[in-house]
């Protein structure tokens, strides 16, 4: 990580030189010279492979001096920035202090350069000493250590493997089927999963199965590893294919037979490859390449495996999806974690070995097993430790809550041999991103969007070229997923990853590696008093305890995260917090921690790039935020309130701002002036009040690259809305639009039909509103809240809309539904009823919704639903939620070829009865979730209803 640290510092200095040239006046030459020194020392880090002994010490010194250089320059920039904000008289009064500051920073930079020179000179002396010292470590000794490490890994793997393995019944059946099916061409089948998940165990079970042994005439198994030695691989294969180490080669010389023995290990790689190929030719073979790490290793090996159209197969196990996709166009098999029952069975088998055990151990044992999170390696290693201990409640109580500590002890080799192997093989660009995941609490589902934005703000995403840094960050995340280091927790309806998480053992690896390199520290109740100087601080304890107990110097901290219990700062605590973390770049405070007020001295965080304060009570953003020229993301929470958030009108001063999220619509305040800057980087503004000022900024091109926009349209401007909405045509990159129409208070003298109309609330007819929206050709996702009678006329939505959500619908007519069905690119449609909605029929005309894949209707007062022939031909998923007047589903639905899932939540009694008697189509999953019933007159019990549905192949959830 030290090499990454220097790279980050160099990148930061380059940005300062470009953006803050005025603030660096007087020391720019020294900073440029320091930059050159760091670039030279960075070359050493890039070429140095060994991180042991004196080399490790040198790397540590380089990391520390890079951090010191960053601290000195950032502190100077922050002080100069505050000085520049003073009045002319204030600057004059502080001129002597400013001159002293300039002298001090110049002196410190010179000292840092001298330190770097000393480190470099010491390194040269050490290298000369190594060359002259005959006792230095030889290449042979290094290779011997590598073999010893491989042997330890083999031993650990053998502890997990066994013939009568627990679980993997379904997994082995699937893999065997893939091996035996698929035509006569030689195919590759891959098993993918994180380290310790049991890939080798599964492969061994498949390899030893009766079906495989009978089908393949020739079988061979070889372990590849991250240090692939091609010659040894071929020799390993030949041990299976030609069982003796020495072989007899016969030939004829002048009509006489001659026998000659030769040593196979003396053959070259090409000769061995040829020999392997000859052994496999004209045979139906199975070759297992266990633990393949690199695509180039496959490129060197695969020519040895002939394709004679005999149905031969190659089975690969790997942690990397990239490797699997490189070896074959067939999708890999993703191995899952063990279930709770399978985990407990494996644990018992290893601990008790068939013996009886005390019943009071089972609850404790299951707690211990649960902490392993279904990872077979963890279960086997932990079970091995407990098998040699006294099997008593007292002994096992010591383990509960400390499972990871036991697993990561040196004697287990779990961390160093298995988990760290994945980390060490990461490309340099991915290592800081992976380690960063350790800041989150155990079992925490990490939201992906803010995670990627944090990576960008931290400076982890470098060398993006012309690509969007968020897109590059997403690529990094998918690489970590493909390397089995990160698991997907939840998916978006659009198909992207919504949340992710990492296994507890990997999280502990992140924490231990980060502690060594001072990447971050997790502060809990146990280590609150320990004095450290991390660059990032993640507080998991009570914030009040941290403030009262911790007196450490916090000036070195660049990122602060709060994940502890909800805590409300009193003004003095908040002032102290803001004073102590002046150099912070990423600041994430807990939910509602600031109450309803953000401190006015927020502008002192001159280096701040990412600010998250999730609060429902913030109403005013202080004007000092406009001084934060480096700010990239402001996240105040998701849009869930109707009350506006006051924001300075000169928002355009935040020229590096990329994302702005607020819990309520932002209303610009202050002088209505012409913007002097263009916010080229702004992509997201999740909620803003569309008034004359906002419309003017949009129309004048202040936000040219805006992709995601949320608009609040109030009820007080009547016929102005079509004109204001016309300004959106300037946003040529807008792809996601959310519009919320404000509802007027109900007046008793107004008829209900008129109250349910858009004209009553905003003074415009639906056609007038849609005329402006329909021209937004780049919009692919549209969400309209309080749509009311929008679907009672011929509607025209953006022509390229793929995902459409309409909530608060009061009524739907045939004309509205028919024109909606004409949107040929629409794939996902969600319709939600409003509080005062009317009852209506839903008619889908033949041929409409040709590309629709997901249809959800919730809370609609639909009496009847008709589906014409060839309508919704591509529908895959249907969700009906709380449509209490709907008694049935169109028969035409079940003839749709693409249909895979129908989910009905809280159906009417008639609908539930109809579904119970439904003959299900093959390949379609029907899920029924009944509404809760509280009366005592229910005739059938829930178990009886469950039995009635499940006997017909319907999933019943209660």
SS3 (DSSP) at 288: strand
pLDDT at 850: 95
**What are the tokens at 601?**
């001295």
Which of 379-393, 486-500, 524-538, 698-712 is the most confident on average?
698-712
DSSP of 340-396: HHHHHHHHHHHHTTT----TTHHHHHHHHHHHTTT-HHHHHHHHHHHHTS--SHHHH
pLDDT at 169: 86
Distances (CA, A) of 432 to 42, 207, 476: 16, 38, 11
What is the arithmetic mean of pLDDT over 14-31? Answer: 72
pLDDT at 667: 93
Report pLDDT digits (tens) over 69-88.
888 888 888 887 777 777 77
d(CA 166, CA 585): 49
d(CA 549, CA 529): 7
Measured in residues, the chain has a length of 958
pTM (predicted TM-score)? 0.84
Report pLDDT digits (tens) over 321-353.
999 999 999 999 999 998 888 888 888 888 887
Residue where the block lists tokens 């930059």: 35
pLDDT at 475: 94
pLDDT at 709: 96
Q: How confident is the model at residue 934 (pLDDT cuts 50, 70, 90)?
A: very low
Report pLDDT digits (tens) over 87-102.
777 767 766 677 787 8
DSSP of 229-261: -HHHHHHHHHHHHS-SSEEEEEEEETTEEEEEE
Q: Which of 137-146, 230-239, 631-640, 919-928 has the lowest mean pLDDT?
A: 137-146
On the question of pLDDT at 673 being above 70, the answer is: no
List, in sequence order, every beta strand (DSSP E) within 404-485.
446-447
Report pLDDT digits (tens) over 210-263.
999 999 989 999 999 888 889 889 988 988 888 765 444 434 444 444 444 557
The gap between the terminal CA atoms of the chain, to the nearest Å, is 50
Strand partners, 833: 809
Q: Which of 57-66, 138-147, 796-805, 921-930 has the lowest mean pLDDT?
A: 138-147
Q: What percent of the chain has pLDDT over 70?
A: 83
Q: Which of 9-18, 245-254, 807-816 has the lowest mean pLDDT?
A: 245-254
SS3 (DSSP) at 497: strand
DSSP of 653-712: G-TT--EEE-SS-EEEES-----SS--TT--EEEEEE-SHHHHHHHHTTSSTT--EEEEE
d(CA 864, CA 176): 48
Nearest to 325 by CA among 478, 176, 488: 478
Q: How confident is the model at residue 206 (pLDDT cuts 50, 70, 90)?
A: very high
Are the beta carbons of 784 and 790 closer than 8 angstroms?
A: yes
Q: Which of 94-98, 355-359, 510-514, 793-797 has the lowest mean pLDDT?
A: 94-98
What is the arithmetic mean of pLDDT over 585-597? Answer: 78
Are the beta carbons of 407 and 381 closer than 8 angstroms?
A: yes
Q: Any residues with CB less than 8 A from the CB of 393 and at least 6 apart, and which?
A: 358, 360, 361, 364
Report pLDDT digits (tens) over 279-327.
999 999 999 999 999 999 999 999 999 998 999 999 999 999 999 999 9
Which class for 390: exposed (0-12), middle (13-18), buried (19 or more C-beta within 10 A)? exposed
SS3 (DSSP) at 333: strand
Nearest to 613 by CA among 599, 627, 628: 599
Which of 8-22, 245-259, 938-952 is the most confident on average?
8-22
pLDDT at 486: 92
Cα 51 to the chain's mean position, in Å? 30
Which class for 230: exposed (0-12), middle (13-18), buried (19 or more C-beta within 10 A)? middle
SS3 (DSSP) at 231: helix
Q: Which of 352-361, 370-379, 734-743 has the lowest mean pLDDT?
A: 352-361
Strand pairing category for 536-539 and 854-858: unpaired
On the question of pLDDT at 180 being above 90, the answer is: yes
Report pLDDT digits (tens) over 398-410.
888 777 777 777 6
């Amino acid at each position: 990580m030290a090499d990454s640290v220097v790279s980050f510092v160099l990148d930061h200095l380059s940005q300062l030189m470009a953006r803050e040239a005025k603030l660096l006046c007087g020391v720019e030459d020294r900073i440029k010279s320091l930059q050159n020194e760091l670039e030279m020392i960075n070359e050493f880090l890039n070429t140095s492979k060994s991180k042991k002994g004196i080399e490790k010490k040198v790397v540590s010194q380089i990391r520390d001096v890079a951090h010191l250089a960053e601290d000195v320059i950032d502190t100077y920039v922050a002080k100069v920035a505050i000085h520049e904000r003073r009045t002319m008289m204030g600057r004059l009064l502080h001129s002597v202090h400013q001159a002293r500051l300039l002298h001090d920073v110049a002196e410190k930079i010179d000292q840092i350069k001298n330190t770097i020179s000393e480190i470099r000179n010491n390194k040269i002396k050490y290298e000369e000493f190594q060359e002259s010292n005959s006792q230095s470590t030889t290449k042979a000794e290094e290779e011997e250590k590598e073999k010893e490490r491989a042997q330890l890994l083999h031993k650990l793997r053998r502890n997990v493997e066994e013939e009568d393995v627990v679980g993997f019944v379904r997994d082995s059946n699937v893999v065997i089927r893939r091996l035996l099916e698929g035509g006569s061409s030689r195919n590759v089948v891959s098993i993918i999963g994180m380290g310790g998940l049991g890939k080798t165990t599964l492969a061994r079970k498949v390899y030893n199965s009766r079906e495989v042994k009978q089908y393949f005439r020739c079988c061979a198994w070889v372990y590849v590893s991250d240090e692939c030695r091609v010659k040894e691989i071929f020799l390993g294969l030949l041990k299976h294919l030609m069982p003796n180490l020495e072989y007899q080669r016969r030939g004829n010389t002048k009509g006489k037979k001659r026998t000659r023995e030769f040593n196979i290990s003396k053959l070259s790689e090409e000769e061995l490859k040829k020999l392997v190929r000859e052994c496999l030719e004209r045979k139906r073979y199975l070759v297992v390449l266990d633990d393949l790490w690199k695509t180039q290793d496959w490129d060197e090996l695969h020519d040895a495996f002939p394709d004679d159209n005999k149905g031969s197969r190659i089975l690969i196990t790997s942690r990397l999806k990239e490797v699997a996709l490189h070896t074959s166009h067939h999708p890999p098999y993703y191995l899952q974690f063990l279930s709770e029952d399978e985990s407990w069975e494996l644990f018992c088998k290893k601990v008790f070995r068939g013996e009886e055990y005390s019943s009071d151990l089972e609850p404790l044992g299951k707690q211990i097993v649960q902490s392993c999170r279904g990872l077979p390696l963890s279960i086997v290693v932990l079970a091995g430790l407990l098998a040699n201990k006294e099997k008593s409640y007292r002994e096992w109580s010591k383990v509960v809550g400390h499972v990871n500590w036991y697993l990561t002890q040196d004697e287990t080799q779990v961390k160093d041999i298995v988990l760290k192997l994945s980390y060490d093989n990461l490309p340099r660009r991915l290592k800081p991103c992976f380690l960063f995941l350790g800041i989150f609490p155990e079992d925490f589902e990490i939201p992906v969007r803010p995670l990627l934005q944090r990576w960008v703000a931290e400076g982890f995403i470098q060398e993006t070229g012309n690509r969007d840094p968020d897109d590059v960050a997403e690529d990094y995340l998918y690489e970590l997923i493909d390397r089995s280091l990160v698991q997907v927790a939840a998916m978006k309806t659009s198909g992207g990853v919504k949340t992710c998480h990492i296994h507890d053992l990997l999280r502990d690896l992140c924490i231990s590696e980060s502690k060594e390199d001072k990447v971050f520290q997790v502060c809990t109740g146990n280590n609150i008093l320990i004095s450290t100087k991390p660059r990032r601080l993640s507080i998991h304890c009570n914030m009040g305890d941290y403030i009262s107990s911790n007196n450490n110097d916090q000036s070195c901290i660049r990122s602060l995260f709060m994940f502890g219990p909800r805590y409300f700062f009193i003004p003095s605590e908040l002032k102290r917090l803001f004073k102590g973390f002046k150099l912070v770049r990423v600041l994430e405070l807990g939910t509602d921690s600031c109450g309803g007020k953000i401190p006015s001295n927020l502008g002192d965080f001159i280096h701040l790039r990412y600010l998250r304060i999730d609060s429902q009570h913030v109403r005013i953003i202080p004007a000092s935020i406009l001084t934060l020229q480096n700010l990239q993301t402001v996240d105040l929470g998701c849009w869930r309130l109707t009350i506006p958030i006051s924001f300075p009108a000169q928002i355009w001063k935040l020229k590096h701002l990329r994302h702005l999220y607020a819990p309520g619509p932002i209303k610009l305040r202050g002088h209505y002036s012409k913007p002097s800057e263009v916010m080229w980087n702004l992509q997201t503004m999740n909620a803003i009040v569309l008034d004359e000022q906002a419309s003017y900024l949009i129309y004048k091109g202040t936000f040219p690259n805006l992709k995601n926009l949320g608009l609040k349209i109030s009820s007080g401007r009547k016929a102005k809305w079509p004109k204001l909405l016309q300004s959106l045509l300037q946003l040529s990159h807008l792809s996601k639009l959310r519009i919320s129409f404000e509802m007027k208070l109900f007046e008793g003298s107004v008829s209900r039909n008129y109250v349910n109309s858009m004209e009553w609330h905003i003074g415009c007819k639906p056609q007038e509103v849609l005329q402006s929206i329909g021209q937004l050709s780049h919009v692919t996702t549209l969400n309209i809240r309080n749509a009311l009678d929008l679907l009672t006329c011929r509607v025209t939505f953006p022509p390229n809309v793929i995902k459409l959500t309409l909530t608060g619908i009061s009524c739907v007519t045939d004309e509205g539904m028919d024109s909606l069905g004409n949107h040929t690119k629409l794939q996902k449609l969600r319709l939600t009823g409003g509080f005062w909605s009317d009852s209506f029929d839903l008619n889908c005309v033949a041929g409409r919704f040709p590309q629709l894949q997901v249809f959800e209707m919730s809370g609609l007062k639909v009496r009847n639903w008709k589906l014409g022939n060839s309508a919704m031909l591509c529908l895959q998923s249907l969700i009906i939620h709380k449509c209490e007047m709907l008694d049935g589903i169109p028969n035409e639905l079940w003839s749709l070829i693409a249909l895979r899932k129908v989910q009905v939540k809280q159906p009417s009694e008639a609908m539930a009865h109809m579904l119970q008697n439904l003959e299900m189509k093959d390949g379609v999953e029907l899920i029924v979730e009944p509404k809760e019933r509280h009366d005592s007159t229910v005739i059938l019990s829930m178990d009886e209803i469950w039995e009635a549905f499940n006997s017909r192949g319907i999933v019943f959830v209660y």
